[in-house]
A and B are shown apart, each in its own frame.
Chain A
Amino acid sequence: MCFSVSAWDRVYPIVLGLPFNLFWLTSWIVLTPLCLWGAYRLESKKDDHST
């Protein structure tokens, strides 16, 4: 993932008025909590089974 910088560090296409790199990073700010929430659900399920 982190080596993909040259793939997204560009201005076009402009999405929602933002240069593409800014749009890309901002959307990950929203997506990361969603992924972590998924991981959180998985972990708490695991805990339920083990106790």
Chain B
Amino acid sequence: MTPSAIALGVIFAIVAFGSAIGFYAGARRKMDLEQWTVAGRGFGVLLMWLLMAGEVYTTFSFLGASGWAYSRGGPTLYILAYITLANVVAFFIMPPMWELGRKHQLQTQSDFFAWRYGSDHLAAVVSLVGIVCMIPYLQIQITGLGIIVEVASFDGINRVTAMIFAVVLLVGFVLASGLRAVAWVSVLKDILMLFAAVAVGVGIPHIYFGGIGPMFTALLHAKPSHFVMPGATPNLGHAWYISTVVMTSVALYLWPHSFGAAFSAKSSETLRRNAVVMPLYSLSLTLMLFVGFAAILVIPDLRDGDLSLLAIVRKTFPPWFLGVIGGAGALTAMVPAAILLLSSATLFAKNIVRPIFAPTMSDHEVGRLARIMVVVIGGISLYVAIRGSTTLVGLLLLGYSGITQVFPGVVLGLFWKRVTTPGIFAGLVAGACIVTFLVLTKRDPYLGLNAGFLGLCANFAIAVTLSLFKPPASQST
């Protein structure tokens, strides 16, 4: 057997095994809309925790983090900070949100906006922002799957073919099984990914340099400026770092699919405990960074930094091991991609189309529309993935810049009685416009600051000013 056949065979076996677990978990239950999208709200603490880890730790952490460590250096360190800080934010925001959810029967982020601000249109715009931002996030996963197959086939299968195949598989998987399936596949994914992180993150520095300390000594000797900001980039300095960390850490739990956790958890206790433990997962990211750094000296001159982790694994280990790492990577892409597809499609049908255009739609029809949207959104993401040329981290930052604009509505809505609907609406639209403008005209980072952060500042300023101008009584309009 050729090395590529062995590597691809192992990846395929792992994906097939994961899918089988998923189908089995999905097949045992009758699938109505509620069951398909939120698994009947019956998630205990353990499943909940697995699902959240499944959402947060994606191909972005697997290939993207090492990719930026390889190609950008210093600025990559923002990744270590933001997931940790995001959980501090979650610790204070999620429990009160859970209390409100229980009191007022809220199920999604949109429900919260509709209830707090009394406007279905605001809620629909929030959902729309969510869906648009999820597309680059999906694009990351699809590109990641493409990279895995490309490297594992020893460049025999090109990336576009692999991405098309991956999307078809993904859409099929989501349509057939729903959220409960995804949570169970997540178990396998987490075990494999932790194994991969330790094996590769500790193993590779040892094989080439005799340890992590000697590796950094060699690296600092060869490329001293790579390891502090701005690293290998022209403009990602300290101001960019601070603005990016602030902007992303408030936004991590605002992704519509993660936000739902505030409502499906058993108690506010669970959410607090979850926030305490979650940062520890980020230790695996430190290991991923080691691999990216090691690749700088071992395989210089890669055309695409996102290839670095798999390329160094391929160079170092036998093909079957490349297959194991690739399989872990493939599940790490498929689990979040399935969650993203599922939540964006449901969001579109349930929180945009039904309340605004067709209030009489039955649950059954909403379910059917959501399934159609799984195919449509999968197609759009595939299209942008084929066209796109940004790094995986660049894509995630793009999504974050948008989703962070929802933050003022959430935090002011929770903690400030006087905030008004027009204030939040205007702030959200202004923030989203600023980000879109800066990104499309390639002005991100602007004045050294992250575009999403600038949008967020404008957003807050507008929301607070407009709210102060109006007497609180106008809230009901």
Chain A residues with a Cβ under 8 A of chain B: 2-3, 5-6, 9-11, 14, 16-19, 21-22, 25-26, 28-30, 32-33, 36-37, 39-40, 43-44
A-side contacts of B272, CB under 8 Å:
40, 43
Residues on the B chain within 8 Å of A16, using CB? 213
User: Does any Cβ of A come within 8 Å of B118's Cβ?
Assistant: no
Question: Whole-angstrom distance from the CB of A18 to the nearest CB of chain B?
Answer: 6
Are B228 and A21 within 8 A (Cβ)? yes
Establish whether residues B212 and A17, one from each chain, have CB atoms under 8 Å apart when the complex forms: yes
**B205-232 contact mask (Cβ, 8 Å, vs A): 1 or 0:** 0000001111111001000100111000
Interchain CA distance A32-B241 in the complex, whole Å: 19
Q: In the complex, what's the smallest C-beta–C-beta distance from B287 to chain A, in angstroms?
A: 10
Say whether B273 faces chain A, with CB atoms less than 8 Å apart. Answer: yes
Q: Once the chains are docked, how many angstroms separate the CA of A33 from the CA of B275?
A: 8
Complex: how many Å from CA A10 to CA B77?
12
* Contact, CB under 8 Å: A2 / B242: yes
Residue B286 interfacial (CB < 8 Å): yes
Q: Is the interface of B mostly helix, strand, loop or mixed?
A: helix
Q: A23 to chain B: closest CB distance in Å? A: 10
Extra inter-chain contacts (6) besides given A9-B229, A18-B216, A22-B227, CB under 8 Å: A2-B245, A9-B238, A25-B80, A26-B80, A29-B280, A36-B91
Q: Which of A3, A10, A36, A40 contacts B228 (CB 8 A)?
A: A10
Write the residues of chain B forming the contact surface with A, with a CB cutoff of 8 angstroms: 74, 77, 80-81, 84-85, 87-88, 91, 211-217, 220, 224, 227-229, 238, 241-242, 245-246, 269, 272-273, 275-277, 279-280, 282-283, 286, 289
Complex Cα distance, B212 from A7, in Å, reads 24
Please give me the residue from chain A that is nearest to B224 by CB atom: A11
With a CB–CB cut-off of 8 A, which chain B residues contact A11?
Answer: 220, 224, 227-228
Contact assessment for A32 and B238 in the assembled complex, using a CB-CB cutoff below 8 Å: no
In Å, the complex CA distance between A25 and B228 comes to 13
Measured in the bound complex, the distance between the Cα atoms of B384 and A19 in whole Å is 37
Question: When the two chains form their complex, are residues B242 and A40 in contact, meaning their CB atoms are under 8 A apart?
Answer: no
Q: Do residues A32 and B245 form an inter-chain contact, with CB atoms below 8 A? A: no
| B229 contacts across to A, CB distance below 8 A | 5, 9
Say yes or no: A5 contacts B242, CB within 8 Å.
Answer: yes
CB pair B74–A36 under 8 Å, yes or no, is no
Alpha-carbon gap, A10 to B146, bound state (A) = 36
What residues on A are CB-neighbors of B91 within 8 Å? 36, 39-40
B273→A40 contact, CB < 8 A: yes
The distance in angstroms between the C-alpha atoms of A28 and B286, with both chains bound, is 12
Would you call B88 and A32 a contact (CB within 8 A)?
yes
Chain A min CB distance to B445 (Å): 15
CB distance from A24 to the nearest CB of B (A): 9
Known: A9-B238, A21-B227. A36 touches B212 (CB 8 A): no
Q: Which 6 A-B pairs have the closest CB atoms?
A: A17-B213, A25-B80, A36-B276, A5-B238, A32-B84, A29-B282
A42 to B246, CA, bound (A): 26
Bound form: Cα–Cα A36–B77 in Å: 22
Of the candidates B279, B280, B289, the one having the most CB atoms from chain A within 10 angstroms of its own CB is B279
